[in-house]
Amino acid sequence: MPLRQEAAEGVKDMSGNRSVVFRGTENMQVKDLDFPKLEMPNGKKAPHGVVLKIVASNICGSDLHIYRGSFPVPDGMVLGHEMTGEVVELGSDVEFLKEGDLVSVPFNVACGRCRNCRNGRTEVCQTCNPDVNCAAYGFNLGDWDGGQAEYLFVPYADFQLLKFPDRDQAMEKIRDLTLLSDILPTAFHGLMEAGAKPGSTVYLAGAGPVGRCGAAAARLLGASCIIVGDYDKDRLDLVKRNGCETIDLNEDVPLQDQIEKILGEPMVDCAVDYVGTEAHGIGKEASNQDPAHAINQVIDATRAGGATGVVGVYGPDPLADSEAERKGVYPIDFGNAWIKSPKITAGQAPIMHYNYNLMQAILWDRMPYLSDMLNTKVISLDEVPQAYADFNQGSAEKYIIDPHGMIKA
């Protein structure tokens, strides 16, 4: 289907919305949908909302859970929860934004009014999903359409959106700033919950995009030794050339022994799980997928009295082997955790708690290694289905969707 043309010079045709939709396991399609309305999923008017023209929308590792069928969503759902956009339409109650503003969208949908939001816990908003205290774009968490599309409706805009102070400066750094909607604050959150600080020794499970953001964030925090474990050589090379130590989890050597070979002692101060349910074992068990592997690995890697962050996605997995795991019940080595007495924190990150400060770190060039570590690649909407397939096969690239051709090569 041909792309729609502009209605007139300088005026965008906003009669439709080309979007990436889920049409079943490993089947992503680009479809023409209606232009977003200023209304909530239940049909209620949303004068507090805006419509964004999407400048950048990324493919996340969490999207692969949906793509593979381990996180069920309705057929036809628009995917995508990592968005940066330009305000093109405002509701009558929006006071602090204007048309043309460039903004980052936190992936947590949050009202700013409930008890949890007022306490800064926007990842567990109590009102934006009638089924559970958690809402997100592009997931089956409140029926919020995702942003792998030309346009997106965002509610509670004054509260939720992070405005970039200078549009031109932001566009020059858009490949890094687009990470603020999810994976950079998520990675940072995992480290903060694990107590990372200057001089900390750190083990990170997973060298996918969020794990690589974790490595970048650990550098920003001043961690001394940053160790990243994964199975993919290309992904490990990306972090190794940016100042990290690496562990090839295909090697049939216990994790503590591999850490000791690097560090001189078998455990670290802080460990973070950036993998989630689609984790694998070590060495002979590397081909064995088990949702508990990554959590147990980071518990094993954390010293007594240390701390562990778990930000990989967990939940009921219909593709799991056991009935318990299909219900979201996993065999965690809690005896090992109990005797070590670590702090363990799990769950989504409250993106708004971190995104402003991380934006400033990017704008002031405090993370010059970020783009190289993430290995970003800009693609069009029409290239998205193939990008999902490549990412599913282990591509080491971080895909940034540019629906309107606004990002410089």
**Which helix (DSSP H) or strand (DSSP E) does residue 388 occupy?**
helix 384-392
Whether 2 is in a domain gets the answer no
How far, in Å, CA of 110 to CA of 122, rounded?
6
The answer to whether 272 touches 309, Cβ cutoff 8 Å, is yes
* Confidence (pLDDT) at 374: 97
Report which residue type is found at 50: V
Rounded-to-10 torsion of CA 122, 64, 26, 108: 10
The answer to whether 278 touches 71, Cβ cutoff 8 Å, is no
Whether 3 is in a domain gets the answer no
Return the CATH number at 207.
3.40.50.720
Whether 254 is in a domain gets the answer yes
Whether 316 is in a domain gets the answer yes
Q: Considering 324, 346, 368, which residue would you say is the last residue of a domain?
A: 346
* Confidence (pLDDT) at 10: 41
Q: Give yes or no: residues 25 and 150 share one domain.
A: yes
* Confidence (pLDDT) at 134: 96
Q: Give yes or no: residues 71 and 197 share one domain.
A: no
The Cα-based distances of 389 to 169, 218, 357, 398 in angstroms read 33, 30, 34, 13
Tokens of 318: 């219909």
Q: Write out the residue range of the structural domain in which residue 212 sits.
A: 183-346
> What helix, strand, coil percent values describe the chain, rounded to 5?
30, 25, 45
Q: Give yes or no: residues 176 and 192 share one domain.
A: no
* Confidence (pLDDT) at 325: 87
Return the CATH number at 364.
3.90.180.10
The answer to whether 51 touches 89, Cβ cutoff 8 Å, is yes
Q: Give yes or no: residues 272 and 196 share one domain.
A: yes
The Cα-based distances of 392 to 27, 374, 399 in angstroms read 12, 17, 12
How far, in Å, CA of 83 to CA of 72, rounded?
21
Q: Give yes or no: residues 229 and 161 share one domain.
A: no
Whether 72 is in a domain gets the answer yes
The answer to whether 160 touches 106, Cβ cutoff 8 Å, is yes
CA atoms within 13 A on the CB side of 215: 32
Q: Specify the length of the chain in residues.
A: 409
How far, in Å, CA of 275 to CA of 34, rounded?
35
The partner residues of 104 in beta bridges, in order of sequence, read 84, 162
Q: Considering 326, 346, 366, which residue would you say is the last residue of a domain?
A: 346
* Confidence (pLDDT) at 292: 86
How far, in Å, CA of 223 to CA of 270, rounded?
10
List phi, psi (to 5°) of 65: -60, -40
The partner residues of 25 in beta bridges, in order of sequence, read none
How far, in Å, CA of 308 to CA of 345, rounded?
6
| Digitized pLDDT (tens) for each residue of the chain, 409 residues in all | 233 333 333 445 567 999 999 999 999 999 999 999 999 999 999 999 999 999 999 999 999 999 999 889 999 999 999 999 999 999 999 999 999 999 999 999 999 999 999 999 999 999 999 999 999 999 989 999 999 999 999 999 999 999 999 999 999 999 999 999 999 999 999 999 999 999 999 999 999 999 999 999 999 999 999 999 999 999 999 999 999 999 999 999 999 999 999 999 999 999 999 998 888 899 999 998 888 899 999 999 999 999 999 999 888 888 888 899 889 898 889 999 999 999 999 999 999 999 999 999 999 999 999 999 999 999 999 999 999 999 999 999 999 999 999 999 7
Q: Give yes or no: residues 309 and 378 share one domain.
A: no
Q: Give yes or no: residues 47 and 100 share one domain.
A: yes
How far, in Å, CA of 397 to CA of 391, rounded?
8
Q: Give yes or no: residues 133 and 248 share one domain.
A: no
Q: Give yes or no: residues 190 and 219 share one domain.
A: yes
Q: Give yes or no: residues 251 and 320 share one domain.
A: yes
Q: Give yes or no: residues 300 and 393 share one domain.
A: no
* Confidence (pLDDT) at 73: 93
Q: Give yes or no: residues 370 and 319 share one domain.
A: no
Number of CB atoms found within 10 A of residue 225's CB: 18
Whether 21 is in a domain gets the answer yes
Domain count, the chain: 2
* Confidence (pLDDT) at 391: 97
Whether 9 is in a domain gets the answer no
Whether 29 is in a domain gets the answer yes
**Which helix (DSSP H) or strand (DSSP E) does residue 335 occupy?**
helix 334-340
The answer to whether 261 touches 249, Cβ cutoff 8 Å, is no
Q: Considering 346, 371, 391, which residue would you say is the last residue of a domain?
A: 346
How far, in Å, CA of 315 to CA of 119, rounded?
25
* Confidence (pLDDT) at 14: 67
The answer to whether 209 touches 184, Cβ cutoff 8 Å, is no
